[in-house]
Amino acid sequence: MAEFTETLSNTNISSGVIHQTVRKELDSINLFRESKIDRKDIEIIQNTYVGDKQRKGKRYKTMWDFTIITKWAEAAHDMTDPQILQRRALILTMIFGAFRPAELERMRSYTTIFKDNSVQTQVRTKMSGNKVIKIIINKHPNPRIDAVEALQRWMYYTKTTFKDEHVWFDIEGSKPANLQRIKEELVAVLRENGIPDTFTAKSIRQAVITYLARQEGADWKAINAYARWAQGSRVAQEYYTMLPVQDIKWILETIGRQVPQMGEDNKPDKSGESKDRRLEKANSEMKDCTEKTSETG
């Protein structure tokens, strides 16, 4: 029983749940014992191994500067390169949709619909269990880090190249990307920007939330809505480095602040081979793409 209690105490389960689980286990054991285990002895064990245990906090003691990625997203990139186009769309979609990598993998083209100033998609999230929820990403005032346009560009390319319901692809293998491949694409951007190996793809979401929480005048209600936590959740305050805005608009205005202007050298390269020309066509027909995507779902 002591080992069982200690094992539970090393998990991310709250002390209340642990105490309740141990008590139920004790009652079950006592049903088959002639000499019953004294509940007081178990309480001593619980206080020794659990006490007033709280949930474990963030995995990292420090967090990398999120603006590294926004600067990367709008820096000099060859927008005719499919791999760069996908990585940029992946990163920005993850940032502005507060996606986890597994949720990105569940995106499908037929449930991803573009509107005038937003894109909406439907995925099964970590917190919703088997329930499918709608996630809406609004256009960013800074077009160079606009997730809506980046995703639209990428999906137009995939529709004419892969012709598959998936959104993300293993470009080299010309097949849908599994979760591991998506993580590898995200991590590749982190490493390219000098972010240490200790940080995984999941740290992107945490870096964004940490960045928002550190802002002067941070709005916890807005942060909880962004991260899809309960309205009164204190996860951000307790586990992300803290701070009080009115709505999601604040998040759009906060993310991307103090990002350098795009220079002449950063304009897309209009030369290339057949795959590049397909991308150029996607760029030139962006306005028509919205209606086409909405009609096809």
Does residue 58 belong to any structural domain of this protein? no
Does residue 60 belong to any structural domain of this protein? no
Does residue 55 belong to any structural domain of this protein? no
Domain shared by 87 and 18, yes or no: no
Domain shared by 71 and 45, yes or no: no
Closest CA to 95 of 244, 242, 246, 259: 259
Q: What is the pLDDT of residues 125-176, one digit of tens each?
A: 766 566 788 999 999 999 999 999 999 999 999 998 988 999 999 988 789 9
* C-alpha separations of 269 from 12, 192, 277 in Å: 49, 21, 11
pLDDT at 245 (0 to 100): 35
Domain shared by 37 and 73, yes or no: no
Domain ranges, residue 18: 2-49
Q: What is the pLDDT of residues 39-50, one digit of tens each?
A: 665 555 555 445
Q: What is the pLDDT of residues 91-117, one digit of tens each?
A: 999 999 999 999 999 999 999 999 989
| Percent of the chain topping pLDDT 70 | 60
Q: What is the pLDDT of residues 212-269, one digit of tens each?
A: 888 878 888 888 888 888 777 777 766 664 333 334 566 777 786 644 343 444 444 4
Lowest pLDDT segment from 25-29, 108-112, 157-161, 201-205: 25-29
Domain shared by 75 and 139, yes or no: yes
Does residue 57 belong to any structural domain of this protein? no
* C-alpha separations of 40 from 4, 46, 51, 283 in Å: 17, 10, 14, 70
pLDDT at 138 (0 to 100): 93
pLDDT at 179 (0 to 100): 95
Domain shared by 124 and 230, yes or no: yes
Domain shared by 209 and 290, yes or no: yes
| pTM score | 0.66
Does residue 113 belong to any structural domain of this protein? yes
Domain shared by 87 and 163, yes or no: yes
Q: What is the pLDDT of residues 207-224, one digit of tens each?
A: 998 888 888 788 888 888
Query: Can you list the alpha helix ranges (DSSP code H) found in 125-266?
Result: 147-161, 179-192, 203-214, 220-227, 235-239, 248-254
Is 16 a residue whose pLDDT tops 70? Answer: no
Over the chain, what is the mean pLDDT?
A: 75
Domain count, the chain: 2
In angstroms, rounded to a whole number, what is the distance separating the alpha carbons of residues 102 and 148?
Answer: 20
Domain shared by 23 and 72, yes or no: no
Looking at residue 137, which CATH number applies to its domain?
A: 1.10.443.10
Domain shared by 30 and 113, yes or no: no
Q: Which pLDDT band, with edges at 50, 70 and 90, does 17 fall under?
A: low
Does residue 108 belong to any structural domain of this protein? yes
Domain shared by 31 and 174, yes or no: no
What number is the average pLDDT over the span 67-78?
85
Does residue 61 belong to any structural domain of this protein? no
Domain shared by 8 and 98, yes or no: no
